[in-house]
Structure 1
């Protein structure tokens, strides 16, 4: 298992591979990443199939633990062109531990560098801060 260093954390090769599959092959709608504190690794927590929705992504985020997620938002422009924008989401709910929030905050920039091709970034502490309307507004 190859690893990439990101600000003190190691990112598994599966993270990069899954992201590239989402970005280029469109086989995933979203990917949820989590930090494994003991091993100091960022790993894939869940992968959403191409047919899954944004609601499936938000439902898969824990209420009291932080996560990172990427979401591939497909839409059609007013000119009838199919477009796709990738969102990077930092999920840091109010109920998560302070230490966990700090780990996710300090590791974010390293992970973002590895995930080349993200168009927009969102940070959310509750579901309303990452509602689908926010995704739609930012992408268009």
Structure 2
């Protein structure tokens, strides 16, 4: 069992493995993306899926459930107009409109606490439908 610090609002902890996976994405480029879910039994945020460095944005969006909430981070690589290689990490709070109300509330009350644990995120996106986190949205925000 991992060490957890409770969130005073939601009682939600963050698994050590979850934090370590994020650090691997940020520092080592070990993952293209991470998808997190809240484990109701353990009352903590855990990693549900890790995207390999070679995976695309389409692979990432396809891995999100169409009917349930998730948190995710995506490491977006791009080249600037000055021909510089850059990378920006996006935090995405995915809350489809057809999700259960209880899930939406749980993710909404846990978001700030969890987001605070992920030091190094550049941008945050709240999405209720795929168009709100389309690749063009990511590209526009990064530039």
**1:54-111 residue CA offsets vs partner (Å, 9 max, x unmatched):** 1111000111110000000000111111100000000000111101100100100001
What is the distance in 2 between the residues matched to 1:71 and 1:10? Answer: 21
User: Which residue of structure 2 lines up, in the alignment, with residue 19 of structure 1?
Assistant: 22
User: Which residue of structure 2 lines up, in the alignment, with residue 5 of structure 1?
Assistant: 6
Q: TM-score, normalised by structure 2?
A: 0.94
The count of aligned residue pairs is 140
Q: How does 1:64-83 map to 2 (within 5 A)?
A: 64-83=67-86
Kindly report the root-mean-square deviation, in angstroms, between the aligned alpha carbons of the 2 structures: 0.9
The farther-off stretch of 35-44 and 64-73 is 35-44
Question: Shift of residue 40 of structure 1?
Answer: 1.1
Secondary structure of the equivalent of 1:28? coil
What is the distance in 2 between the residues matched to 1:4 and 1:87? Answer: 24
Question: Shift of residue 2 of structure 1?
Answer: 2.6
Ranges in structure 2 where 5+ consecutive residues have no aligned partner:
none
Ranges in structure 1 where 5+ consecutive residues have no aligned partner:
none
Question: Shift of residue 39 of structure 1?
Answer: 2.0
Which structure dedicates a bigger proportion of its chain to strand?
1
